[in-house]
Amino acid sequence: MAPREEILILGAGIAGCALAYHLAKRGILPKVYDPRTPAAGASGRSAGVLTEQMWDRWDLELVRETRKEYAELSEGSEPSAYRRNGFLRLATDPLAVTLLDEAIARWRSWGVDVEEPAGAELSRLVPAATVVGVGRAAFSSEGAVVDPSSMVAIYAEAARRAGATFDFGRPMTGFSSSDAGWELRTGSGTLQARRAVVAAGAWSDAILRSLGAPLPLVPYRTQAVLLRPVGRPPSEFPTVHDLDLDVYVRPESEGRILAGNGTEEVEADPEGFLTSGDAGFLTRIAEAMGERFGGWRESEVLGSWAGVCTSTPDRHPIIGAVPGAPALYVIGGFNGFGIMRAAAAARRLADLICDGGSAESALEPARPDRFPNPAARSPPRPGFTVEAGDDPRY
Protein backbone atom coordinates (compact mmCIF):
# COMPACT_ATOMS: atom_id res chain seq x y z
CA MET A 1 0.00 0.00 0.00
CA ALA A 2 1.24 3.49 -0.84
CA PRO A 3 2.30 5.60 2.16
CA ARG A 4 -0.36 8.03 3.31
CA GLU A 5 0.64 11.60 4.09
CA GLU A 6 -1.31 14.03 6.23
CA ILE A 7 -1.15 16.68 3.52
CA LEU A 8 0.40 16.80 0.07
CA ILE A 9 1.52 20.04 -1.57
CA LEU A 10 1.76 20.01 -5.37
CA GLY A 11 4.43 22.52 -6.36
CA ALA A 12 7.76 23.64 -4.88
CA GLY A 13 7.69 27.29 -5.90
CA ILE A 14 7.66 30.13 -3.40
CA ALA A 15 4.01 29.52 -2.40
CA GLY A 16 4.38 25.76 -1.95
CA CYS A 17 7.63 25.96 0.03
CA ALA A 18 6.38 28.85 2.21
CA LEU A 19 3.20 26.88 2.92
CA ALA A 20 5.25 23.81 3.85
CA TYR A 21 7.23 25.95 6.27
CA HIS A 22 4.16 27.42 7.94
CA LEU A 23 2.34 24.08 8.18
CA ALA A 24 5.40 22.34 9.63
CA LYS A 25 5.71 25.10 12.23
CA ARG A 26 2.10 24.35 13.21
CA GLY A 27 2.86 20.63 13.62
CA ILE A 28 1.34 19.42 10.32
CA LEU A 29 4.20 17.81 8.40
CA PRO A 30 3.55 18.03 4.65
CA LYS A 31 5.01 16.18 1.71
CA VAL A 32 5.98 18.63 -1.07
CA TYR A 33 5.99 17.17 -4.57
CA ASP A 34 7.35 18.74 -7.73
CA PRO A 35 8.19 16.97 -11.00
CA ARG A 36 11.21 19.25 -11.34
CA THR A 37 13.12 21.13 -8.64
CA PRO A 38 12.29 24.02 -6.27
CA ALA A 39 11.76 27.35 -8.06
CA ALA A 40 11.95 25.70 -11.49
CA GLY A 41 8.80 27.53 -12.63
CA ALA A 42 7.77 31.18 -12.39
CA SER A 43 9.24 31.65 -8.90
CA GLY A 44 12.79 31.26 -10.17
CA ARG A 45 12.13 33.65 -13.06
CA SER A 46 10.47 36.38 -11.00
CA ALA A 47 11.71 39.97 -10.75
CA GLY A 48 11.75 39.66 -6.96
CA VAL A 49 10.34 43.15 -6.37
CA LEU A 50 8.53 44.14 -3.15
CA THR A 51 6.57 47.38 -2.87
CA GLU A 52 3.81 48.77 -0.67
CA GLN A 53 2.38 50.70 -3.64
CA MET A 54 -0.42 48.18 -4.02
CA TRP A 55 -4.08 48.11 -5.11
CA ASP A 56 -5.91 47.86 -1.80
CA ARG A 57 -5.41 47.49 1.95
CA TRP A 58 -5.55 43.70 1.87
CA ASP A 59 -2.76 43.47 -0.71
CA LEU A 60 -0.76 46.03 1.26
CA GLU A 61 -0.97 43.94 4.43
CA LEU A 62 0.17 40.84 2.55
CA VAL A 63 3.19 42.68 1.20
CA ARG A 64 4.10 44.11 4.60
CA GLU A 65 3.88 40.73 6.31
CA THR A 66 5.78 39.05 3.47
CA ARG A 67 8.57 41.61 3.46
CA LYS A 68 9.04 41.27 7.23
CA GLU A 69 9.22 37.49 7.03
CA TYR A 70 11.70 37.52 4.14
CA ALA A 71 13.94 39.94 6.02
CA GLU A 72 13.89 37.76 9.15
CA LEU A 73 14.46 34.45 7.36
CA SER A 74 17.23 35.72 5.11
CA GLU A 75 19.02 37.43 8.00
CA GLY A 76 19.46 34.08 9.68
CA SER A 77 20.65 32.15 6.65
CA GLU A 78 21.51 34.21 3.54
CA PRO A 79 21.47 37.99 4.15
CA SER A 80 22.18 38.80 0.49
CA ALA A 81 18.85 37.20 -0.53
CA TYR A 82 16.95 40.28 0.69
CA ARG A 83 17.87 43.94 0.52
CA ARG A 84 15.92 47.14 0.96
CA ASN A 85 16.46 49.55 -1.93
CA GLY A 86 13.23 51.59 -2.27
CA PHE A 87 10.63 51.70 -5.02
CA LEU A 88 10.01 54.59 -7.42
CA ARG A 89 7.20 55.17 -9.91
CA LEU A 90 7.41 57.76 -12.70
CA ALA A 91 4.61 59.22 -14.84
CA THR A 92 4.55 61.76 -17.65
CA ASP A 93 1.35 61.07 -19.59
CA PRO A 94 -1.49 63.26 -18.17
CA LEU A 95 -3.73 60.28 -17.45
CA ALA A 96 -0.88 58.43 -15.75
CA VAL A 97 -0.10 61.53 -13.67
CA THR A 98 -3.74 61.82 -12.60
CA LEU A 99 -3.92 58.16 -11.60
CA LEU A 100 -0.61 58.36 -9.76
CA ASP A 101 -1.89 61.40 -7.85
CA GLU A 102 -4.99 59.44 -6.85
CA ALA A 103 -2.85 56.46 -5.87
CA ILE A 104 -0.50 58.57 -3.74
CA ALA A 105 -3.46 59.90 -1.75
CA ARG A 106 -4.82 56.37 -1.37
CA TRP A 107 -1.47 54.93 -0.25
CA ARG A 108 -1.00 57.67 2.32
CA SER A 109 -4.48 57.02 3.71
CA TRP A 110 -3.32 53.43 4.30
CA GLY A 111 -0.19 54.55 6.12
CA VAL A 112 2.26 54.02 3.26
CA ASP A 113 5.21 56.41 3.43
CA VAL A 114 5.27 58.02 -0.03
CA GLU A 115 7.49 60.90 -1.09
CA GLU A 116 7.14 62.91 -4.31
CA PRO A 117 10.71 63.63 -5.42
CA ALA A 118 11.36 66.03 -8.29
CA GLY A 119 14.28 67.76 -9.97
CA ALA A 120 17.63 67.27 -8.27
CA GLU A 121 16.23 64.82 -5.70
CA LEU A 122 14.82 62.61 -8.45
CA SER A 123 18.14 62.71 -10.29
CA ARG A 124 19.93 61.77 -7.08
CA LEU A 125 17.75 58.69 -6.62
CA VAL A 126 18.44 57.40 -10.15
CA PRO A 127 21.40 59.26 -11.69
CA ALA A 128 21.11 57.28 -14.92
CA ALA A 129 17.49 58.34 -15.49
CA THR A 130 16.34 61.12 -17.80
CA VAL A 131 13.92 62.95 -15.50
CA VAL A 132 13.28 66.13 -17.49
CA GLY A 133 9.55 66.21 -18.25
CA VAL A 134 8.54 63.70 -15.58
CA GLY A 135 5.16 64.90 -14.37
CA ARG A 136 4.94 62.99 -11.10
CA ALA A 137 7.07 60.59 -9.08
CA ALA A 138 6.19 58.42 -6.09
CA PHE A 139 8.99 57.02 -3.93
CA SER A 140 8.62 54.55 -1.06
CA SER A 141 11.77 53.84 0.93
CA GLU A 142 10.40 50.53 2.25
CA GLY A 143 10.63 48.89 -1.18
CA ALA A 144 12.95 45.90 -1.42
CA VAL A 145 14.24 43.21 -3.75
CA VAL A 146 14.87 39.53 -3.13
CA ASP A 147 16.70 36.78 -4.95
CA PRO A 148 13.68 34.55 -5.71
CA SER A 149 15.54 31.24 -6.06
CA SER A 150 17.44 31.85 -2.84
CA MET A 151 14.22 32.71 -1.02
CA VAL A 152 12.59 29.47 -2.19
CA ALA A 153 15.64 27.52 -1.04
CA ILE A 154 15.51 29.24 2.36
CA TYR A 155 11.87 28.23 2.81
CA ALA A 156 12.49 24.67 1.63
CA GLU A 157 15.37 24.18 4.05
CA ALA A 158 13.46 25.76 6.94
CA ALA A 159 10.47 23.51 6.19
CA ARG A 160 12.73 20.45 6.00
CA ARG A 161 14.29 21.27 9.38
CA ALA A 162 10.77 21.56 10.83
CA GLY A 163 9.84 18.09 9.55
CA ALA A 164 8.47 18.56 6.03
CA THR A 165 9.59 16.07 3.38
CA PHE A 166 10.15 16.59 -0.35
CA ASP A 167 9.74 14.47 -3.46
CA PHE A 168 11.36 15.92 -6.60
CA GLY A 169 12.18 14.89 -10.13
CA ARG A 170 9.51 12.27 -10.84
CA PRO A 171 6.98 13.06 -13.59
CA MET A 172 3.34 13.20 -12.53
CA THR A 173 1.12 10.74 -14.40
CA GLY A 174 -2.11 11.42 -12.52
CA PHE A 175 -3.77 13.13 -9.59
CA SER A 176 -7.26 12.28 -8.36
CA SER A 177 -9.46 11.78 -5.32
CA SER A 178 -9.37 8.38 -3.65
CA ASP A 179 -10.78 6.55 -0.64
CA ALA A 180 -7.76 7.80 1.30
CA GLY A 181 -8.40 11.39 0.23
CA TRP A 182 -6.07 12.27 -2.66
CA GLU A 183 -3.73 10.17 -4.76
CA LEU A 184 -0.75 11.33 -6.78
CA ARG A 185 0.66 8.92 -9.34
CA THR A 186 4.17 9.31 -10.68
CA GLY A 187 6.35 7.33 -13.05
CA SER A 188 7.75 5.31 -10.16
CA GLY A 189 5.12 5.16 -7.46
CA THR A 190 2.04 6.56 -5.74
CA LEU A 191 1.59 9.07 -2.95
CA GLN A 192 -1.61 9.28 -0.93
CA ALA A 193 -2.73 12.02 1.39
CA ARG A 194 -5.79 12.89 3.43
CA ARG A 195 -5.62 16.49 2.21
CA ALA A 196 -3.87 18.18 -0.70
CA VAL A 197 -2.94 21.68 -1.88
CA VAL A 198 -2.53 22.70 -5.51
CA ALA A 199 0.34 25.20 -5.54
CA ALA A 200 1.55 24.38 -9.03
CA GLY A 201 1.66 27.87 -10.52
CA ALA A 202 0.85 27.89 -14.23
CA TRP A 203 0.05 24.15 -14.09
CA SER A 204 -2.66 24.63 -11.43
CA ASP A 205 -5.25 25.47 -14.08
CA ALA A 206 -4.86 22.15 -15.90
CA ILE A 207 -4.74 20.14 -12.66
CA LEU A 208 -7.98 21.64 -11.36
CA ARG A 209 -9.76 21.27 -14.69
CA SER A 210 -8.73 17.59 -14.82
CA LEU A 211 -10.49 17.13 -11.47
CA GLY A 212 -13.69 18.76 -12.71
CA ALA A 213 -13.11 21.66 -10.31
CA PRO A 214 -12.04 24.51 -12.61
CA LEU A 215 -11.14 27.98 -11.41
CA PRO A 216 -10.42 31.04 -13.59
CA LEU A 217 -6.63 30.69 -13.54
CA VAL A 218 -5.20 31.69 -16.92
CA PRO A 219 -1.48 31.18 -17.66
CA TYR A 220 0.36 33.99 -19.46
CA ARG A 221 3.96 34.65 -20.48
CA THR A 222 6.19 37.42 -19.15
CA GLN A 223 9.82 38.32 -19.89
CA ALA A 224 12.90 39.88 -18.32
CA VAL A 225 16.45 40.71 -19.42
CA LEU A 226 19.71 41.01 -17.50
CA LEU A 227 21.93 43.93 -18.55
CA ARG A 228 25.40 45.20 -17.70
CA PRO A 229 25.87 48.91 -18.46
CA VAL A 230 29.04 49.67 -20.39
CA GLY A 231 31.59 51.63 -18.38
CA ARG A 232 30.90 52.57 -14.79
CA PRO A 233 28.52 50.06 -13.18
CA PRO A 234 25.44 51.49 -11.45
CA SER A 235 25.48 51.94 -7.70
CA GLU A 236 22.53 50.82 -5.60
CA PHE A 237 19.29 52.47 -6.75
CA PRO A 238 15.58 51.96 -6.17
CA THR A 239 13.48 49.74 -8.36
CA VAL A 240 11.96 52.06 -10.96
CA HIS A 241 8.65 51.53 -12.74
CA ASP A 242 7.91 53.91 -15.61
CA LEU A 243 4.13 53.99 -16.02
CA ASP A 244 4.24 55.49 -19.51
CA LEU A 245 6.64 52.89 -20.90
CA ASP A 246 5.35 50.11 -18.60
CA VAL A 247 8.93 49.02 -18.00
CA TYR A 248 10.69 48.38 -14.70
CA VAL A 249 14.37 48.24 -13.82
CA ARG A 250 15.89 47.00 -10.59
CA PRO A 251 19.46 46.58 -9.33
CA GLU A 252 21.10 43.19 -9.55
CA SER A 253 24.39 42.05 -8.02
CA GLU A 254 27.80 42.81 -9.55
CA GLY A 255 26.74 46.06 -11.21
CA ARG A 256 24.02 44.51 -13.33
CA ILE A 257 20.42 45.61 -14.03
CA LEU A 258 17.28 43.53 -14.39
CA ALA A 259 14.68 45.05 -16.73
CA GLY A 260 11.30 43.71 -17.62
CA ASN A 261 7.59 43.59 -18.01
CA GLY A 262 7.41 41.77 -21.27
CA THR A 263 3.92 40.64 -20.29
CA GLU A 264 1.76 39.11 -23.01
CA GLU A 265 -1.99 39.47 -22.60
CA VAL A 266 -2.79 36.15 -24.25
CA GLU A 267 -3.06 32.70 -22.76
CA ALA A 268 0.16 30.66 -22.76
CA ASP A 269 0.92 26.95 -22.60
CA PRO A 270 3.22 26.23 -19.63
CA GLU A 271 4.42 23.09 -21.37
CA GLY A 272 5.44 24.83 -24.58
CA PHE A 273 6.51 28.48 -24.67
CA LEU A 274 9.54 30.48 -25.76
CA THR A 275 11.75 30.47 -22.67
CA SER A 276 14.01 33.33 -23.80
CA GLY A 277 13.13 36.98 -24.38
CA ASP A 278 11.86 37.57 -27.91
CA ALA A 279 13.16 40.19 -30.34
CA GLY A 280 10.20 42.53 -29.88
CA PHE A 281 10.64 42.60 -26.11
CA LEU A 282 14.39 43.22 -26.32
CA THR A 283 13.82 46.06 -28.79
CA ARG A 284 11.25 47.62 -26.45
CA ILE A 285 13.69 47.47 -23.53
CA ALA A 286 16.44 49.03 -25.65
CA GLU A 287 14.11 51.87 -26.62
CA ALA A 288 13.09 52.39 -22.99
CA MET A 289 16.71 52.57 -21.93
CA GLY A 290 17.35 55.23 -24.54
CA GLU A 291 14.24 57.22 -23.66
CA ARG A 292 14.20 57.05 -19.85
CA PHE A 293 17.55 55.64 -18.69
CA GLY A 294 20.05 57.42 -20.90
CA GLY A 295 22.92 56.63 -18.56
CA TRP A 296 22.40 52.94 -19.28
CA ARG A 297 21.75 53.33 -22.99
CA GLU A 298 24.90 51.38 -23.78
CA SER A 299 24.39 48.07 -22.01
CA GLU A 300 25.50 44.52 -22.70
CA VAL A 301 22.72 41.93 -22.79
CA LEU A 302 23.85 39.11 -20.50
CA GLY A 303 20.74 37.00 -20.92
CA SER A 304 16.98 37.07 -21.21
CA TRP A 305 14.27 34.68 -20.17
CA ALA A 306 10.54 34.18 -19.97
CA GLY A 307 8.28 32.48 -17.47
CA VAL A 308 4.60 31.68 -17.24
CA CYS A 309 2.53 33.27 -14.47
CA THR A 310 -1.20 32.94 -13.80
CA SER A 311 -3.87 35.64 -13.87
CA THR A 312 -7.36 35.92 -12.43
CA PRO A 313 -10.31 38.05 -13.63
CA ASP A 314 -10.13 40.49 -10.68
CA ARG A 315 -6.33 40.44 -10.19
CA HIS A 316 -6.65 38.99 -6.69
CA PRO A 317 -5.10 35.58 -6.05
CA ILE A 318 -7.17 32.46 -5.41
CA ILE A 319 -6.43 30.95 -2.00
CA GLY A 320 -8.51 28.54 0.04
CA ALA A 321 -10.72 25.47 -0.21
CA VAL A 322 -11.56 24.37 -3.77
CA PRO A 323 -15.36 24.34 -4.27
CA GLY A 324 -16.72 20.86 -4.91
CA ALA A 325 -13.46 19.09 -4.01
CA PRO A 326 -13.40 18.08 -0.33
CA ALA A 327 -10.05 18.39 1.48
CA LEU A 328 -8.46 20.13 -1.51
CA TYR A 329 -6.99 23.62 -1.33
CA VAL A 330 -5.41 25.97 -3.84
CA ILE A 331 -2.94 28.84 -3.64
CA GLY A 332 -2.17 30.67 -6.88
CA GLY A 333 -3.32 33.24 -9.39
CA PHE A 334 -0.92 35.90 -8.14
CA ASN A 335 -0.93 37.85 -11.43
CA GLY A 336 2.86 38.06 -11.46
CA PHE A 337 3.12 39.17 -7.81
CA GLY A 338 3.63 35.81 -6.09
CA ILE A 339 6.95 36.79 -4.56
CA MET A 340 5.35 39.96 -3.16
CA ARG A 341 2.54 38.10 -1.40
CA ALA A 342 3.74 34.53 -0.85
CA ALA A 343 4.80 34.51 2.80
CA ALA A 344 1.63 36.12 4.15
CA ALA A 345 -0.62 34.23 1.75
CA ALA A 346 0.94 30.90 2.76
CA ARG A 347 0.66 31.67 6.46
CA ARG A 348 -3.02 32.55 6.09
CA LEU A 349 -3.71 29.37 4.15
CA ALA A 350 -1.88 27.36 6.81
CA ASP A 351 -4.14 28.99 9.41
CA LEU A 352 -7.20 28.01 7.36
CA ILE A 353 -6.01 24.40 7.00
CA CYS A 354 -5.24 24.14 10.71
CA ASP A 355 -8.09 26.18 12.19
CA GLY A 356 -10.87 25.87 9.62
CA GLY A 357 -13.60 28.46 9.24
CA SER A 358 -12.28 30.69 12.01
CA ALA A 359 -9.43 31.74 9.68
CA GLU A 360 -11.54 32.37 6.56
CA SER A 361 -11.93 36.12 7.01
CA ALA A 362 -8.20 36.73 6.52
CA LEU A 363 -8.53 35.34 3.00
CA GLU A 364 -11.86 36.94 2.09
CA PRO A 365 -10.71 38.78 -1.11
CA ALA A 366 -9.03 35.59 -2.33
CA ARG A 367 -11.87 33.11 -1.72
CA PRO A 368 -12.03 30.48 -4.50
CA ASP A 369 -15.85 30.49 -4.41
CA ARG A 370 -16.19 34.17 -5.35
CA PHE A 371 -16.62 33.57 -9.09
CA PRO A 372 -20.16 33.07 -10.50
CA ASN A 373 -18.77 31.02 -13.38
CA PRO A 374 -15.46 29.44 -12.29
CA ALA A 375 -15.03 27.66 -15.63
CA ALA A 376 -15.09 30.91 -17.65
CA ARG A 377 -11.89 31.91 -19.43
CA SER A 378 -10.85 35.54 -19.74
CA PRO A 379 -7.77 37.12 -21.31
CA PRO A 380 -5.02 37.85 -18.77
CA ARG A 381 -4.89 41.48 -17.61
CA PRO A 382 -2.02 41.57 -15.14
CA GLY A 383 0.28 44.55 -14.84
CA PHE A 384 2.25 46.74 -12.50
CA THR A 385 -0.73 49.05 -12.30
CA VAL A 386 -1.70 51.94 -9.99
CA GLU A 387 -5.46 51.80 -10.35
CA ALA A 388 -7.69 50.89 -7.45
CA GLY A 389 -9.41 47.53 -7.60
CA ASP A 390 -10.57 46.64 -11.09
CA ASP A 391 -10.27 50.17 -12.57
CA PRO A 392 -8.99 49.51 -16.11
CA ARG A 393 -7.72 53.00 -16.98
CA TYR A 394 -3.98 52.36 -16.56
pLDDT digits (tens, 9 = 90+) for 88-111: 999 999 999 999 999 999 999 999
The fraction of the chain above a pLDDT of 90, given in percent, is 81
Query: According to the 3-state scheme, what is the secondary structure of the chain?
Result: CCCEEEEEEECCCHHHHHHHHHHHHCCCCCEEEECCCCCCCHHHHCCCEECCCCCCHHHHHHHHHHHHHHHHHHHHHCHHHEEECCEEEEECCHHHHHHHHHHHHHHHHCCCCCECCCHHHHHHHCCCCCCCCCCEEEEECCCEEECHHHHHHHHHHHHHHCCCEEEECCCEEEEEEECCEEEEEECCEEEEEEEEEECCHHHHHHHHHHCCCCCCCEEEEEEEEEEEECCCCCCCCCEEEECCCCEEEEECCCCCEEEECCCCCCECCCCCCCCCCCHHHHHHHHHHHHHHCHHHCCEEEEEEEEEEEEECCCCCCEEEECCCCCCEEEEECCCCCHHHHHHHHHHHHHHHHHHHHHHHHHHHHHCHHHCCCCCCCCCCCCCCCCCCCCCCCC
* Averaged pLDDT for residues 110-121: 95
> What distances in angstroms separate CA 393 from CA 381, 386, 387, one per listed residue?
12, 9, 7
Cβ neighbors of 279 (< 8 A, separation 6 or more) are none
* Nearest-10 Cα torsion for 4, 346, 334, 198: 10
Separation between Cα atoms, residue 195 and residue 181, nearest integer Å: 6
Q: Taking 50 as the threshold, does the pLDDT of residue 1 lie above it?
A: no
pLDDT digits (tens, 9 = 90+) for 331-356: 999 999 999 999 999 999 999 999 98
Query: How many Å from the N-terminal Cα to the C-terminal Cα in the chain?
Result: 55
Say whether pLDDT at 233 is over 90: no
CB proximity list for 72: less than 8 A, separation 6 or greater: none
Query: In the predicted model, is pLDDT for residue 119 greater than 70?
Result: yes
Q: How confident is the model at residue 357 (pLDDT cuts 50, 70, 90)?
A: confident
Asked whether the beta carbons of 338 and 42 are under 8 A apart, the reply is: yes
Mean pLDDT across the chain:
92
Calpha distance 359→354 (Å, rounded): 9
- Quickly count: other Cβ atoms within 10 Å of residue 1's Cβ: 6
User: Worst-scoring range by mean pLDDT, 102-106, 183-187, 332-336, 388-392?
Assistant: 388-392
pLDDT digits (tens, 9 = 90+) for 157-181: 999 999 999 999 999 999 999 988 9
The full set of domains in the chain, from first to last, is: 85-142+219-311 (3.30.9.10)
* Residue 208 backbone dihedrals phi, psi, to 5 degrees: -70, -40
Give yes or no for residue 144 having a pLDDT over 70: yes
Res 43: pLDDT = 84
Residue 243 neighbours by CB distance under 10 Å: 24
**pLDDT (mean) for 291-305:** 93
**Is the pLDDT reported for residue 2 higher than 70?**
no
Decide if 311 contacts 332 (C-beta within 8 A): no
Q: What is the mean pLDDT of residues 17-23?
A: 98
What are phi and psi for residue 78, nearest 5 degrees? Answer: -150, 80
CA distances from 88 to 10, 118, 298, 338 (A): 36, 12, 22, 20
Compare 384 and 228 and report the one with higher pLDDT.
Answer: 228
Q: Which pLDDT belongs to residue 387?
A: 66
CA–CA dist 18, 367 (Å, integer): 19
Q: Determine the pLDDT at residue 57.
A: 92
Calculate what percentage of the chain has a pLDDT beyond 70: 96
Spatial separation of the C-alpha atoms in residues 276 and 265, rounded to whole Å: 17
